[in-house]
């Protein structure tokens, strides 16, 4: 992909982010065909927006999600600092067209995982984690029909991240088996999705390991950044006026609502 085409795609997506418009798809000459091309556009989009980065989201961590998105592997996108909110936040429905909700485990790193040639191992990545948080990722897209544009175009658009609702750190979380921990999503008191930490590539720490090895060939992951490891509850599209609770059992509950 020529640089001017990648930059043109990034600038079109930047405009969509800034004014809240959607595009049907990227023009064919500007459209990424591979993950590598998509991450080039994603990086240029982040540079054009100039927003501080709080961390990373990982998508496509379950077989069901990969089938829906027609991709064989997970993918990553930035979480911008201005779009990280505390539990109980009410978000404007007009600013979140899809209002997709996913219950996820999120890690905050105490040590950086910098770029390098040698692959990271699970123990090394685990040792870099400082805290674990229950989280709700809010999914949105700058595409009119996000399920039709293909995985590379979704990656270019920061992996369809719109916001992250971040709960408080969980004490003594390392003493629990995260792959066995149940997570439920309830909207207006009704369960709309459920799963366990095993839905994230078998274990949330396996998701973090995947990201560390993707990012070692890019800019790495900085100390203090958040990594949201993928949905445990599937994806639910909320309506204006809905209130959602992600119930992490002994790890607590977090909540987000949308205005009418």
122-179 residue pLDDT tens: 999 999 999 999 999 999 999 999 999 999 999 999 999 999 999 999 999 999 999 9
Give the pLDDT confidence score for residue 70 in this predicted structure.
86
Q: How far, in Å, CA of 211 to CA of 203, rounded?
A: 13
Instruction: Label residues 46-70 b or e (16+ Cβ within 10 Å = b).
Output: bebbeeeebbbbbbbbbeebbeebe
- Looking at domain 52-258, its CATH architecture is Alpha-Beta Complex (3.90)
Domain-wise residue ranges, the chain: 52-258
Taking only the tens place, the pLDDT of each residue in 7-60 is 999 999 999 999 989 999 999 999 999 999 999 999 999 999 999 999 999 999
Percent of the chain with pLDDT over 70: 100
Categorize the per-residue pLDDT at 68 as very low, low, confident or very high, splitting at 50, 70 and 90: confident
Categorize the per-residue pLDDT at 203 as very low, low, confident or very high, splitting at 50, 70 and 90: very high
pLDDT at 221 over 90: yes
- Hey, what are 178's tokens? 């995260």
Average per-residue pLDDT in the chain? 97
Give how far Cα 101 sits from Cα of 8, 219, 236, 243, 251, Å. Answer: 30, 28, 5, 11, 19
Taking only the tens place, the pLDDT of each residue in 75-86 is 999 999 999 999
Q: Are 181 and 205 in contact (CB under 8 A)?
A: no
User: CA 205, 210, 212, 213 torsion: positive or negative?
Assistant: positive
Give the pLDDT confidence score for residue 63 in this predicted structure.
86
Q: How far, in Å, CA of 203 to CA of 209, rounded?
A: 10
Give the pLDDT confidence score for residue 252 in this predicted structure.
97
Q: What is the arithmetic mean of pLDDT over 221-226?
A: 98
Give the pLDDT confidence score for residue 230 in this predicted structure.
97
H or E, element range at 126: helix 122-127
- Coil, strand or helix: which one is 101? strand
Give the pLDDT confidence score for residue 195 in this predicted structure.
97
Give the pLDDT confidence score for residue 210 in this predicted structure.
98
């Amino acid at each position: 992909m020529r640089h001017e085409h990648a930059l043109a795609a990034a600038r079109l997506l930047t405009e969509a982010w800034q004014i809240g418009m959607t595009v049907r798809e990227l023009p064919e000459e500007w459209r990424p065909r591979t993950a590598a091309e998509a991450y080039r556009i994603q990086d240029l989009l982040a540079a054009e927006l100039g927003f501080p980065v709080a961390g990373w989201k990982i998508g496509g961590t379950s077989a069901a999600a990969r089938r829906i998105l027609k991709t064989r592997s997970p993918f990553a996108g930035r979480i911008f600092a201005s779009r990280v909110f505390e539990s109980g936040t009410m978000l404007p429905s007009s600013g979140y067209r899809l209002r997709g909700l996913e219950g996820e485990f999120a890690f905050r790193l105490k040590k950086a995982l910098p770029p390098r040639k040698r692959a990271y191992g699970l123990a090394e990545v685990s040792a870099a984690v400082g805290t674990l948080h229950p989280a709700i990722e809010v999914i949105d897209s700058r595409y009119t029909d996000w399920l039709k544009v293909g995985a590379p175009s979704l990656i270019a658009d920061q992996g369809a991240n719109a916001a992250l609702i971040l709960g408080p750190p969980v004490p003594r979380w390392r003493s629990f088996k995260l792959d066995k921990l149940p997570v439920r999503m309830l909207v207006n008191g009704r369960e709309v999705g459920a799963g366990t930490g095993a839905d994230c590539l078998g274990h949330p720490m396996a998701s973090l390991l995947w990201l560390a090895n993707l990012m070692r060939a890019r800019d790495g992951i900085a100390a203090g950044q958040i990594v949201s490891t993928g949905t445990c509850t599937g994806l639910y599209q909320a309506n204006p006026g809905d209130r959602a609770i992600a119930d992490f059992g002994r790890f607590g509950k977090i909540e987000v609502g949308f205005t009418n």
